[in-house]
Each structure stands twice: as structure tokens, then as C-alpha cells.
Amino acid sequence: MKSTPPIIDFPLAPPGTMGPPAEYGRLLAHCPVARIDIDPKATAWYVTRYADVRSLIADPRLVRPSISDWPDGSDLGDQDPRLTTMMELEGPEHTALRRALTDAFSVRTVRRYLPHLRQLAAGLLDSLAAGAPRGDLVAGFAEPFPLLMMCDLVGIPYAEREYFLPMADAALGAMQTLGEGRRVTKPLRAFVTTLIDQKRREPADDLLTYLVRECDSGVLAEEAVISFGLSMLIAGYRTTTMFVANSLLTLLAEPGQYARLRDHRELMPTAVEELLRYIPVMNGVVVLLATEDIELHGHTFHKGEGIHIVLAAANRDGSVFPDPDRLDLGRMVNPHIMFGRGAHNCIGSHLARAELTVALEAVLDRFPALHLVDGQPPTWDDESPAKSPLTLPVGW
């Protein structure tokens, strides 16, 4: 007889921590499919095991719903603008955009960005260190470093960050908490379309200008270029900020880990992969929508139902990662799934890896004796899904 999956509250990281939520272990062991209560008008499932997450994330029968339409799009008319990023694009429009961007995000091209990344990191750390024995590693480094890189690459004015950052964060959070992001749909789209118009008038050496040309020569639709701009604002830097901040906090908080990496730089490639596996940023949830009935463990996800697949839980699955809750900077076999898989896998994964590597190397070089400050713990916004410190006070 089939058992009915239990209904659970959305698992959250313990307050004041990056997580993972305590429930992951129990769900992984005993409950591969649970139902989560997120909206009375929608049915949503929660899937944690590595093999299931790995297969569902690349399953073409599942699409990424826009936060404008799911779990409840009844307040929007057909003509109202949607917050459509690359993730929600499907079919030829998505393929054409991915193809247009292949070279810009390839390993080879990202290698060419390395000197610029190193220069950015060194400059920020010099400013942070100037005149003070301590400072905030988030405001001084983890936040501006990937943001500056993304702005340079894409052609988004860094000087306007105070305008676009709060909207971009609301949209990123909405992928998980739903709600807030809808409020910013119109102004975020307006910000991107204004930028696109500006690139047409004043072309520059950046990705938006290049995509505008592809659009004007008929290769891409205007909507695809807008989606790219929205994707960069929402996915193009904040995840890296969170990873850099949480990685440094983890290395400093776990005895001996910072010194181990400082003194054994040959560990850097495996350390970066292990931090990607270990850090459960935003619970690592991807929301999918079934376009037809799908069976898993004797349970049927019906067409129109949502499935939350939890990358961060999959990355702690003991059947794949021995001793999964231990941070092992030298872990050799590490098929983590933090960048997803399939048609929508993270297009920025090579850039993110380069940013994380350069960030760690630059901090280890500049501050060999970096430490957390007694009596000044990191601060967190426990209402936010970000699960990354707002401030990270350190001394050097």
C-alpha cells in the first residue's frame, strides 16, 4: 500500500546560522518526498535525496515557474509583465540565449578575467585594511567583489547599486519565500529596459551591448535580452557574495581550517569544491513545476504541482558523500550539485569558481592571521532566505 507523504513546515536554518536546517538529516534518511505547506492554492513537494534531486533538476517534464504565476498568479492579468529570467525561458528562445552566451562564460574566457578579478580583490582588501586593525568582511569585500565584476562584465552601472540592489534582493528572496518579489517586477524590468535602450544609443564593451546587437540582427528576441539582464541582477552576484562570506566564516569558525588552507594552497581546488558542497546557501532550493504526472518512490507528482528540490540537502546525502557533515578541504570525490545540471545548469559556474578561488587566495595572502572578533559575532537577518551573514567582523 502506498503511504501518503507527511506535511512539513518549510525547513529553515537555525536562527543566526547559515544552516543547514536540522530537518535535512531526518528527511534524507526517512522521508524522500514530503509535502510543504506554502500556499493554500498550491500543492508543493520537497525532495532531498541526491539521486532524486540529480534526476529531477534535469528532467524536461519539469519547468521553472515564474514567481509572478506560481503558486498563485490569480492577481495578474495576461498582459501584466512577468519576472522572467533565463531559468523560466524554455525551448528555442532559451537555447538561442545560452548559445549566444557560451563563449562569454566559458572556462577559456573566464581564465582571461582572472587578472581583473585579482586586481579588484586586492584593491578592496587594501581599502579595508587601510588604517584599521579590524573591519567588516561583508561590506568591505564579500559584497562589492562579485558585484563589481558582474557590473563590469554585463554593463550595469555600479554607481546605481543603491537603487537596484534592494529590488534584486527582493526578487532573489521571492524564489523561496514568494510574495515580495512581485512588488519589484515592474521597476526591475524598467531598469533593465532603460539600460538596453542606453546600450543601443551608446554601445560599450560589455555583454548587454553584445546581446543588443544579437537582438538587432535577429538572432535573439528582445524579451530574451531582458531576461538576461534580470538574471544577472538576480543570480549574477548575490550567490557569490553569500558563498564568499559563508566560506570565510566557516574557515574561521572551524578550528584549524583557515590555517590549513593558508599553509597548503595546493588544497585550493578541492577546498573550493568542498565549500560549494558544504555551504547550504538559501537552503539551495530550486522550484520546479510538473508539466505532466511524474512518479517518484511510488508517489505521483501531478501536473501543475510544484516540486522543491533541495540541492543543499542532496549535497549532504551520506550515500554519496562519506561523513557528509564534515568539512574536508581535501575531499577528492565530490560530485556536488550546487550548480545544478541539465539545460538550466548555472551558466556562471566557471566565473563563480574563479571568484571564490580568487577571493580566498586574496584574503589568505593579505590577512594570514585573520580571526573573528571576540564579542562581535556576525549578524544575520533571520527573516531573509539568504542565510549569509549581514556583517562579518574580523581582525587581522
Binding site for ligand HEM (CB under 6 A): 57, 64, 86-87, 98, 150, 231-232, 235-236, 239-240, 243, 286, 311, 338-340, 344-348, 351-352
Q: How far is the CB of 2 from ligand HEM (least distance, A)?
A: 29
CA–CA distances in Å: residue 228 to residues 154, 184, 273: 9, 17, 26
CB-closest chain residue to ligand HEM: 348
Exposed/middle/buried for 89, CB within 10 Å: 0-12, 13-18, 19+?
Answer: buried
C-beta of residue 392 within 8 angstroms of C-beta of residue 247:
no
Q: Which is nearer to ligand HEM, 57 or 372 (CB)?
A: 57
Q: Which is nearer to ligand HEM, 156 or 394 (CB)?
A: 156
Q: Which is nearer to ligand HEM, 178 or 232 (CB)?
A: 232
Q: How far is the CB of 263 from ligand HEM (least distance, A)?
A: 25
C-beta of residue 97 within 8 angstroms of C-beta of residue 89:
yes
Q: Which is nearer to ligand HEM, 64 or 199 (CB)?
A: 64
Q: Rounded distance, CA 81 to CA 290, Å? A: 23
Q: How far is the CB of 298 from ligand HEM (least distance, A)?
A: 25
Q: How far is the CB of 157 from ligand HEM (least distance, A)?
A: 16
Q: How far is the CB of 376 from ligand HEM (least distance, A)?
A: 26
Q: How far is the CB of 106 from ligand HEM (least distance, A)?
A: 13
C-beta of residue 191 within 8 angstroms of C-beta of residue 167:
yes
Q: What values do phi and psi take at 170, rounded to 5?
A: -65, -40
Q: Which is nearer to ligand HEM, 128 or 351 (CB)?
A: 351
Q: Which is nearer to ligand HEM, 54 or 182 (CB)?
A: 54
